[in-house]
Chain A
């Protein structure tokens, strides 16, 4: 074999590696993407805001998966802190019936028990949210604890000591 054919052999071997990498990567990527598209994710509560006037909590819920989720209902468990006159209570199975589209954020309004005092600092509200997805008849739940903090008070930026 002449020298030019030896160099050609090396070049062709290298080119074969690239073609194999490209074709194999394409086929594998599609297989992985198809598998990933069938995996439902669990929703994530990104943020909770308390609305004093409505006496309700606004939950920003994010669906990080490719399958739409159906929020069915929620349960609120109120555990009083030291600064409230309200007694502990549970309200359960409040229907929501809200669809959480893939990769989107939806705000869910959680009503606290009617005719109760507004939340005081230190109160703990535990919200259980029940959801379903189309691949299974099961009902899943996530539990989000919310503690009323001092942040609801007028913001007081601490000034650094001189």
Chain B
């Protein structure tokens, strides 16, 4: 279900971006009651959404699974293992709590890519705002793209920060389960 939604949103954003490019190339912009700055905003939003799609859905799914883990609801472990890009033997040796943390850290490469790209856009936006690169040429449009990207970056940051509050809780929950019951509780309820 979630994976389908992820693919659906990705395809939707890609189609919107392609439609955007077609509209720009054909010069249909004149038929549209939007300003060039509005188009810049849309372009920033769509491009950065494509960059962030994996993060948004990854963190969203992680938070849901982590909540199930903390509430001792059964989790489909094979699905979780399929999301982590590590050797299968190593993943099978992990307890469920460790597997969840590995999943979270596996998203880091997308996270750093996203934030680095966003910061580059923010840097160039500030340079043009301070008139170092020619504000009147591209500055105002770059700022539109920056604000569009900021909307996506806000969503990513919110989910990112929320997801990173869970590992400590997962660890505490696993330790609690380990100390209160027999060692067999760490086995996966597959």
Contact = CB atoms under 8 A, between A and B. Distances in A.
Do the two chains bind?
Answer: yes
Interface stretch (B110-118, B130-138, B154-162): B154-162
A16 interface: yes
Contacts of A34: 35
B104 to A, nearest CB: 15
B22 to A, nearest CB: 23
Interface in B47-79: none
Nearest to B67: A1
A5 B143 CA distance: 32
Specify the main secondary structure of chain B where it touches its partner: helix
Nearest to A24: B147
A26 B37 contact: yes
A15 B143 contact: no
A143 interface: no
B38 A8 contact: no
Given A8-B161, A23-B147, A26-B144, A2 B169 contact: yes
A115 interface: no
Contacts of B161: 8, 11-12
Interface residues of B, number: 18
Interface in B169-185: 169
A8 B158 CA distance: 8
Instruction: State which size class the interface on A falls in.
Output: 10 to 19
A23 B158 contact: no
Given A12-B158, A22-B150, A27 B165 contact: no
B165 A15 contact: no
Contact of A5 (B148, B150, B157, B162): B162
Interface of B: 35, 37-38, 41, 140, 143-144, 147-148, 150-151, 154, 157-158, 161-162, 165, 169
Given A27-B147, A30-B35, 15 more contacts: A2-B169, A5-B162, A12-B157, A12-B158, A12-B161, A15-B154, A19-B147, A23-B41, A23-B147, A26-B147, A27-B38, A27-B41, A30-B38, A30-B140, A30-B144
